[in-house]
Amino acid sequence: MAEYERIVQPFEPVYDENAKILILGSLPSVKSRENGFYYGHPQNRFWKVIAAVYDREVPQTILEKKELLHKCGIAVWDVIES
């Protein structure tokens, strides 16, 4: 049997009572885990697209990203726990 590295989903879901849209991912990338939040790879367009769709500034910090999701009624989580 081959050995494998167990990767645990490190992020809590981001949601509040106003969420109307749920975006489910599978498992955060290595870069996202290194950066400490969803869609953290610099080449990922997720934050740019969300900001453009809702005519907002592109968030830079984790706090700004969470605020953008809440303001836009978006919940985010990955479906793989481990």
pLDDT in tens, 53-65: 999 999 999 999 9
Please confirm, yes or no, whether 35 is among the known catalytic residues.
Answer: no
- Reported pTM: 0.86
Find, among 28, 25, 37, the residue nearest to 9 by Cα. 28
- Mean pLDDT for 14-19 is 96
* E strand spans, the chain: 21-25, 74-78
In the prediction, which pLDDT does 4 show?
Answer: 63
**Token output for 59:** 């968030």
In this prediction, residue 3 carries a pLDDT of 65
Q: Is the pLDDT of residue 36 over 80?
A: yes
Nearest to 14, CA basis, from 78, 76, 79: 76
- Exactly one of 44, 66, 72, 78 is catalytic; which is it? 44
